[in-house]
């Protein structure tokens, strides 16, 4: 029986694919007790402590703390019940095959908990049998991504399929953004200037005849023209420019993930937008009373989240996630609330809002916001969700269009409450407090009518807030 | 040496084929039916035939941009040549070469050539191969009064002498290197053959418009070369009935010059006069051949017009044996 | 401003140079034509009619009709230039360069360098190049790519009568050997040529049209084919920069790179086969110095790797055409 245990990159939540060791609390040779903190692991969204599951000795640390991003299942360290010779550890490492597991699977032994069953290994790439000439890298890529070789024309010698051929075949088709023709600057035979220099001179009104060329063979280049672009005239003392040196902040993991996910969302999701203005005078009046009666401090946003949860429950065709070619309809509304945390935008989820009372919702939301601001959100807090609400009213924003948070089908953008003149029933003028709601919808999953009906229901719930306590 | 009736009829037929082939090309080129650069041999038929009648397919010849006569005299297929000049994929060179690059190595014809003077060294190589084979075969390079001024020709002559290659330098002096007079461009006044002499070769000279003079001269010369005496050279004085290329306005010609050479220096007319007056052949014999040849050329044109055209896929065929 | 044919721009520019500078000498096969004939001299004036009237105006010492001896023609131009003259040698067909290649490559191109900079060799070697006439494998070739690869030579490829004048004047004004390549199919092209004493510097490309979506680079006859392709693309709102390089040595790298920075897409057109061609040279330049700007792989529209074929259909299939250029452009624009 091997007394050695692997410690691998854990998988927290279905979306986690990789992580980084932020810090080791233990070193090689240390003896640790069950429950001791071993290390901090940073993932795309959170940083979590990992605790020892058993008393053990840290025999070998393979992944130093730092910037290496490691896939789930990667071997991070080797533990043992006791000291073992280094050679044995080496052999164990050499023979180790990563599987998608969690924290090191303990061997079944007396006194140990039964080990969690290992997750099934990822589906192996489907082998492609072909007689066509294809480079090894291209074949590997085609197998990994399941590309259809019959649809690919080889650009290599003798029709050989190259890596680039497969890569291009797999990329989504995108029409180029055309910018069309440009003004052709006339060429004066007496003036020796590059084509772009002439274009720029025409653009900026620079007289080329006064310039000295610094380009090849004394030719006026674009730099010479740009240097001669007259500075805008200023009154009084001449403005002196100072160095405008940027502070360079490389993406941290969270910012990187935000950038990647939002880029993908904005690029790949066909958004459409539905806008409606909602009167909130009734809600504002009710909130004061209700908060007093219930003894809670529910915000306007809490009411809106509750209203959205109830509206989603009535419109399951909007309460959806899109996965590949399938739409998943959920009976209950798990609503993500966008929160600005020190690490950037996070969207903790309040689960089953439609089944909650207002006090339950207010408490749950407050708890999530506190966790977010403290940077202590877990995967469970962030994973999934069927809908997101983003409220920028507190910043004085009238209205805005939010980007959908995949795999969700829609996101609601809430603006500030503002006073507007409205026509009264008798044709007079009165003032009402209104909020702009903009629903961004993924047209692949939700049609316009469905989105509009949902929004109408939501507007009704907000304008007649008594229903929220039904 | 007296030729047999069959030999004379065959020689006449060959000269006539060249003549009619060229006259017909002249017409079809003028109408635009044939593309490219074409240089007609018309007027020099007695040289090509008088030389090539002595050769079999293992004797090699290397030709010039004015090569149709040499090709036909050496035995290249009339239909295949016509199809080539018309650009068919069934042409002798599959439509790849056209007029200037006709070749058929199977009959010992190592190619017409678009580069003036390029042929002589190639012929030396072919002659060295013949020497290695030891079967008494020869290689012949045809050069005009233009090519005789190329360094390649000088180098080839010297190398042939040094290596004792069975190579024969046939200089066809038609008095024009393209548009320039022979008297201006050739420094050894009035004579090309003396250059070969200077290189150390035995040299013959003859009237290139007289088939029998050409034939007899070549008989002697070939006996000498086949006997292992090394290279030899001959200069034939001849006439070019058309321009340097088809479309050449020939402003360099003298008043009435073209009419005069057609009248007095036509090798076919001279052949007919001499054999008929010597009662070796009759006008009827020759008229029969004339009619047959005209039919043959007409048939060749009809076949060439109807022959399949090349396709874009043919462009990359035959660049290499294997690539 | 005068309208004139490309061939007349060659002739008149040389004629003016011969009037102005008695060191200018012309030599080549049939540059006079008809020497030693009943109808000559001056029967031809160059087989491309680019030296008509020279002999009458300047006589046999400055207009030297030569035998068919390319090596001697080029070598003599080199010697004339070393000895203080300004020779303009004509090779008729660029394909004949093979006969004289040593004199160009090992002699003229290298004199100044080998002699420690103590001499100049201002020889201009003119030749007609290119396909389109069914002139087959030895009378249709492009030679600019391997001459561009020879240090010591300047290589010029005018595409318009105006460029002929400006570039030929520049060649005459300079003291370096220049290969002056005239496309056979351009001799009859007519265009405006401005008056006055102006030149076009070498290494100074011409932008024939401006656009922001695609860069087309070409020389000689291929420029007009790029123009035709750009016209077709413009119908779909696609804007092309069409760059006429004018000279391939020196080459206007800046114009190419500036344009690719704007468009991010490059199609290079070259009449020669692609291997080791001007097209691969320009592609390498862009891949090296404009990598970050490229939005798609570079496309090259070149001849296939074969000699120039004779038959009409084959030569059409061989030469780059406006349709092939347009297809390459659309491929680049459709890159995913």
CA distance A239 to A233: 9
Q: Do C133 and B36 touch (CB under 8 A)?
A: yes
Work out the pLDDT band at A236, boundaries 50, 70, 90: low
Compare all CA atoms of chain C with the CA of A184 and give the residue at the minimum distance: C210
Q: Do domains A136-169 and A195-228 have the same CATH topology?
A: yes
Q: What is the CA radius of gyration of chain C?
A: 20
C95 near B CB under 8 A:
yes
Compare all CA atoms of chain C with the CA of A218 and give the residue at the minimum distance: C201
Please report the pLDDT score of residue A99 as a whole number.
62
Query: Is residue B143 pLDDT above 80, yes or no?
Result: yes
CA distance C65 to B72: 34
Q: Do C37 and B316 touch (CB under 8 A)?
A: no
Q: Encode pLDDT of C201-225 as tens digits.
A: 999 999 999 999 999 999 999 999 9
Q: Do B150 and C99 touch (CB under 8 A)?
A: yes
Query: Is residue B147 pLDDT above 80, yes or no?
Result: yes
CA distance B143 to chain C (A): 12
Among candidates A173, A182, A192 on the partner chain, residue whose Cβ is nearest the Cβ of C204: A192
In chain C, how long is the greatest CA-to-CA distance?
68
Q: Do C311 and B310 touch (CB under 8 A)?
A: yes
Compare all CA atoms of chain B with the CA of C133 and give the residue at the minimum distance: B36
Contacts of A222 in chain C (CB under 8 A): 258
Q: Encode pLDDT of A397-436 as tens digits.
A: 999 999 998 889 999 999 998 998 888 888 888 889 999 9
Please report the pLDDT score of residue A157 as a whole number.
79
Q: Do C200 and A180 touch (CB under 8 A)?
A: no
pTM of the predicted structure, to 2 decimals: 0.65
Please report the pLDDT score of residue A232 as a whole number.
63
List, edge to edge, every strand of the sheet that includes A18-24. A47-51, A37-42, A18-24, A70-71
Contacts of C250 in chain A (CB under 8 A): 216-217
CA distance C89 to chain B (A): 17
C98 near B CB under 8 A:
yes
Over residues B44-54, the mean pLDDT reads: 98
Over residues B83-100, the mean pLDDT reads: 95
Q: Do C39 and B251 touch (CB under 8 A)?
A: yes
Q: Do A182 and C194 touch (CB under 8 A)?
A: no
Work out the pLDDT band at A104, boundaries 50, 70, 90: very low
Query: Closest by alpha carbon to A149, among A163, A123, C333, A172?
Result: A163
Among candidates B151, B181, B309 on the partner chain, residue whose Cβ is nearest the Cβ of C35: B181
The series of mean pLDDT values per 10 residues for chain C, 336 residues long, is 95 97 95 89 86 94 93 92 93 95 94 89 97 94 97 97 97 96 96 94 95 96 98 96 97 92 95 97 95 93 97 96 97 88
Question: Mean of the per-residue pLDDT values for chain B?
Answer: 95
Q: Residue B159's CB: how many other CB atoms inside 10 A?
A: 19
Contacts of C98 in chain B (CB under 8 A): 115
CA distance B21 to B28: 11
Q: Do A178 and C255 touch (CB under 8 A)?
A: no
Q: Exactly one of A204, A323, A329, A443 is catalytic; which is it?
A: A443
Q: Which CATH number fits domain A270-468: 3.40.50.720, 3.30.559.10, 2.90.10.10, 3.40.50.300?
A: 3.30.559.10
CA distance C67 to chain A (A): 39
Give the CA count within 13 Å in the CB-facing half-sphere of B292.
12
Query: Is residue A102 pLDDT above 70, yes or no?
Result: no
Locate A356 and state its tokens.
């909650």
Please report the pLDDT score of residue A175 as a whole number.
76
Kindly report the CA angle at B94 between B89 and B100, in degrees rounded to 5?
125
Q: Do A219 and C201 touch (CB under 8 A)?
A: yes
Q: Do C213 and A173 touch (CB under 8 A)?
A: no
Work out the pLDDT band at A127, boundaries 50, 70, 90: confident
Kindly report the CA angle at C131 between C127 and C133, in degrees rounded to 5?
105
Collapse the DSSP code of A341 into the 3-class scheme (helix H, G, I; strand E, B; otherwise coil) and give the result.
strand
Query: Closest by alpha carbon to C206, among C237, C169, C145, C160?
Result: C160
CATH 4.10.320 at A136-169, yes or no? yes
Asked about C139 being catalytic, the answer comes back as yes
- C166 vs A436, B183, B222, CA distance in Å? 67, 39, 58
Q: Which chains touch B (3 or more CB pairs under 8 A)?
A: C
Among candidates C201, C208, C211 on the partner chain, residue whose Cβ is nearest the Cβ of A182: C211
Structural domains of chain C, ranges and CATH numbers in brackets = 2-193 (3.40.50.970), 206-334 (3.40.50.920)
Q: Positive or negative CA dihedral for C134, C135, C138, C142?
A: negative
Q: Residue B202's CB: how many other CB atoms inside 10 A?
A: 16
CA distance A358 to A291: 9
Q: Do B314 and C99 touch (CB under 8 A)?
A: no
Q: Which chains touch C (3 or more CB pairs under 8 A)?
A: A, B
Domain ranges of chain B: 5-239+257-309
According to DSSP, the residues that pair with A413 across neighbouring strands are A390, A438
CA distance B148 to C68: 9
Contacts of B179 in chain C (CB under 8 A): 30, 33-34, 37, 40, 43-44, 47
Contacts of A179 in chain C (CB under 8 A): 212-213, 239
CA distance C26 to C14: 9
What's the fold here for domain A5-95? OB fold (Dihydrolipoamide Acetyltransferase, E2P) (2.40.50)
Please report the pLDDT score of residue B287 as a whole number.
97
Interface test with C, best of B250, B315, B317, B321 (most C CBs within 10 A): B315
CA distance A176 to chain C (A): 6
Q: Exactly one of C139, C144, C145, C183 is catalytic; which is it?
A: C139
Q: What is the CA radius of gyration of chain A?
A: 31
Kindly report the CA angle at A92 between A91 and A93, in degrees rounded to 5?
90
CA distance B281 to chain C (A): 38
Please report the pLDDT score of residue A287 as a whole number.
86
Please report the pLDDT score of residue A113 as a whole number.
44
Over residues B256-274, the mean pLDDT reads: 96
CA distance B108 to chain C (A): 21
Contacts of C317 in chain B (CB under 8 A): 311-312, 314-315
Q: Do A194 and C258 touch (CB under 8 A)?
A: yes
Query: Closest by alpha carbon to C267, among C315, C305, C230?
Result: C230
Query: Closest by alpha carbon to A377, among A49, A47, A21?
Result: A47
Locate A436 and state its tokens.
């702009």
Over residues B294-318, the mean pLDDT reads: 95
Query: Is residue A108 pLDDT above 70, yes or no?
Result: no
Q: Residue A351's CB: how many other CB atoms inside 10 A?
A: 17
Instruction: Give CATH for domain B5-239+257-309.
Output: 3.40.50.970
Among candidates B89, B95, B115 on the partner chain, residue whose Cβ is nearest the Cβ of C96: B115
Query: Is residue A116 pLDDT above 50, yes or no?
Result: no
Please report the pLDDT score of residue A14 as a whole number.
66
Question: Mean of the per-residue pLDDT values for chain A?
Answer: 83
What's the fold here for domain A195-228? Dihydrolipoamide Transferase (4.10.320)
Q: Do A180 and C166 touch (CB under 8 A)?
A: no
Please report the pLDDT score of residue A81 as a whole number.
82
Query: Is residue B252 pLDDT above 70, yes or no?
Result: yes
What are the DSSP calls for C234-261, one per residue?
HTTT--EEEEE-SEEES--HHHHHHHHH
- B165 vs A360, B17, B119, C77, CA distance in Å? 111, 32, 15, 35
Are the C-beta atoms of residues C332 and C214 closer than 8 Å to each other?
yes
Per-residue exposure over B213-230, b if at least 16 CB sit within 10 Å of its own CB, e if not? bbbbbbeebbebbbeeeb
How many interchain CB pairs under 8 A, B with C? 179
Query: Is residue B150 pLDDT above 60, yes or no?
Result: yes
Q: Which chains touch A (3 or more CB pairs under 8 A)?
A: C
Highest-confidence range of A357-371, A374-388, C321-335, by mean pLDDT?
Answer: C321-335
CA distance A179 to chain C (A): 6
Contacts of B247 in chain C (CB under 8 A): none
Domain ranges of chain A: 5-95, 136-169, 195-228, 270-468
């Amino acid at each position: 029986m091997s007394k050695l245990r692997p410690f691998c990159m854990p998988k927290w939540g279905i979306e986690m694919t990789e992580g980084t060791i932020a810090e080791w609390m233990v070193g090689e040779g240390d003896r640790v007790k069950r429950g001791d903190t071993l290390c901090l692991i940073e993932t795309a969204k959170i940083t979590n402590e990992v605790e020892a599951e058993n008393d053990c000795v840290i025999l070998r640390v393979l992944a130093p703390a730092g910037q290496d991003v490691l896939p789930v299942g990667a071997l991070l360290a080797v533990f043992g019940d006791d000291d073992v010779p280094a050679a044995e550890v080496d052999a164990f490492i050499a023979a180790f095959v990563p599987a998608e597991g969690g924290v090191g699977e303990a061997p079944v032994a007396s006194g140990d908990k039964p080990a969690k069953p290992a997750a099934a290994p990822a589906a192996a790439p489907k082998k492609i049998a072909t007689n066509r000439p294809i480079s090894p890298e291209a074949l590997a890529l085609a197998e990994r991504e399941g590309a259809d070789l019959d649809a690919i024309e080889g650009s290599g010698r003798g029709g050989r399929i190259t890596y680039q051929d497969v890569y291009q075949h797999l990329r989504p088709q995108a029409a180029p953004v055309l910018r069309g023709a440009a003004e052709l600057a006339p060429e004066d035979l007496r003036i020796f200037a590059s084509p772009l220099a002439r274009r720029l001179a025409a653009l900026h009104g620079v007289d080329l005849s006064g310039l000295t060329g610094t380009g090849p063979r004394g030719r006026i280049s674009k730099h010479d023209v740009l240097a001669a672009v007259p500075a805008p005239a200023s009154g009084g003392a001449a403005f002196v420019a100072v160095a405008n040196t940027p502070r360079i902040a490389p993406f941290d993991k969270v910012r990187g993930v935000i950038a990647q996910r939002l880029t993908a969302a904005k690029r790949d999701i066909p958004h459409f937008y539905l806008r409606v203005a909602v009167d909130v005078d009734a809600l504002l009046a009710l909130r004061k009373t209700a908060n007093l009666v219930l003894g809670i401090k529910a915000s306007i946003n809490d009411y809106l989240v509750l209203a959205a949860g109830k509206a989603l429950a009535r419109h399951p065709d909007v309460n959806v996630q899109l996965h590949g070619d399938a739409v998943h309809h959920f009976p209950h509304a798990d609503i993500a609330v966008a929160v600005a945390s020190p690490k950037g935008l996070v969207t903790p989820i309040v689960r089953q809002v439609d089944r909650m009372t207002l006090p339950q919702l207010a408490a749950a939301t407050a708890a999530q916001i506190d966790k977010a601001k403290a940077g202590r959100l877990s995967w469970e807090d962030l994973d999934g969700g069927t809908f997101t609400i983003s409220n920028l009213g507190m910043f004085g924003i009238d209205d805005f269009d939010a980007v959908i948070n995949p795999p969700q089908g829609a996101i609601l953008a809430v603006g500030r409450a503002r006073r507007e003149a409205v026509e009264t029933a008798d044709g007079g003028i009165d003032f009402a407090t209104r909020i702009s709601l903009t629903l961004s919808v993924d047209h692949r999953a939700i049609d316009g009518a469905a989105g509009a009906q949902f929004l109408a229901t939501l507007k009704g719930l907000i304008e007649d807030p008594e229903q929220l306590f039904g | 040496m007296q030729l047999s009736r069959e030999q004379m009829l065959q020689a006449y037929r060959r000269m006539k084929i060249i003549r009619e082939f060229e006259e017909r090309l002249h017409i079809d080129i003028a109408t635009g039916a044939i593309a490219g650069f074409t240089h007609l041999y018309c007027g020099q038929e007695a040289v090509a035939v008088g030389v090539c009648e002595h050769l079999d397919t293992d004797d090699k010849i290397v030709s010039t941009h004015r090569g149709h006569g040499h090709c036909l005299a050496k035995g290249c297929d009339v239909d295949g040549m016509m199809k080539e000049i018309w650009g068919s994929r069934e042409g002798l060179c599959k439509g790849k070469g056209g007029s200037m690059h006709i070749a058929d190595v199977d009959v010992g014809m190592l190619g017409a050539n678009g580069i003036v003077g390029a042929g002589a060294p190639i012929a030396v190589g072919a002659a060295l191969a013949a020497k290695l084979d030891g079967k008494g075969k020869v290689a012949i390079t045809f050069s005009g009064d233009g090519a005789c001024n190329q360094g390649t020709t000088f180098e080839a002559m010297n190398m042939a002498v040094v290596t004792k290659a069975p190579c024969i330098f046939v200089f066809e002096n038609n008095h024009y290197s393209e548009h320039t007079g022979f008297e201006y461009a050739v420094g050894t006044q009035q004579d090309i053959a003396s250059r070969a002499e200077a290189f150390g070769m035995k040299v013959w000279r003859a009237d290139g418009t007289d088939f029998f003079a050409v034939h007899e001269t070549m008989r002697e010369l070939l006996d000498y070369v086949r006997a292992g005496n090394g290279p030899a050279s001959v200069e034939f004085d001849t006439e070019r009935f058309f321009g340097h290329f088809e479309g050449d306005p020939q402003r360099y010609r003298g008043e009435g010059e073209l009419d005069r050479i057609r009248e007095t220096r036509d090798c076919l007319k001279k052949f007919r006069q001499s054999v008929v007056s010597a009662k070796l052949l009759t006008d009827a014999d020759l008229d029969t051949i004339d009619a047959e040849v005209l039919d043959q050329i007409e048939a060749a044109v009809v076949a060439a017009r109807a022959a399949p055209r090349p396709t874009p896929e043919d462009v990359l065929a035959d660049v290499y044996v294997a690539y | 401003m005068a309208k004139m044919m490309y061939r007349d721009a060659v002739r008149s520019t040389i004629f003016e140079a011969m009037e102005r500078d008695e060191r200018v000498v012309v030599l080549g096969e049939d540059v006079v034509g008809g020497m030693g004939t009943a109808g000559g001299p001056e029967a031809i004036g160059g087989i491309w009619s680019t030296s008509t009237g020279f002999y009458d105006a300047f006589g046999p010492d400055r207009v030297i009709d030569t035998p068919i001896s390319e090596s001697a023609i080029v070598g003599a131009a080199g010697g004339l230039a070393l000895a203080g003259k300004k020779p303009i040698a004509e090779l008729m067909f660029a394909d004949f360069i093979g006969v004289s290649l040593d004199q160009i490559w090992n002699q003229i191109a290298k004199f100044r360098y080998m002699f420690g900079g103590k001499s100049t060799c201002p020889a201009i070697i003119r030749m007609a190049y290119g396909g389109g006439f069914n002139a087959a494998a030895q009378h249709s070739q492009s030679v600019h790519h391997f001459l561009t690869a020879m240090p010591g030579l300047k290589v010029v490829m005018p595409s318009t009568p105006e460029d002929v004048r400006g570039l030929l004047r520049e060649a005459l004004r300079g003291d370096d050997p220049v290969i002056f390549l005239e496309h056979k199919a351009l001799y009859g092209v007519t265009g405006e040529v401005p008056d006055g004493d102006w030149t076009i510097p070498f290494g100074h490309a011409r932008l024939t049209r401006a656009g922001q979506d695609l860069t087309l680079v070409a020389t000689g006859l291929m420029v007009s084919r790029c123009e035709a392709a750009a016209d077709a693309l413009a119908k779909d709102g696609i804007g092309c920069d069409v760059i006429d390089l004018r000279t391939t040595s020196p080459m206007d790298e800046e114009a190419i790179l500036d344009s690719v920075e704007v468009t991010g897409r490059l199609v290079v057109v070259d009449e020669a086969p692609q291997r080791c061609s001007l097209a691969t040279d320009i592609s390498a330049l862009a891949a090296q110095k404009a990598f970050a700007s490229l939005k798609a792989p570079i496309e090259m529209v070149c001849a296939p790797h074969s000699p120039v074929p004779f038959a009409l259909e084959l030569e059409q299939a061989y030469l780059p055409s406006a349709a092939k250029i347009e297809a390459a452009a659309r491929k680049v624009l459709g890159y995913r």
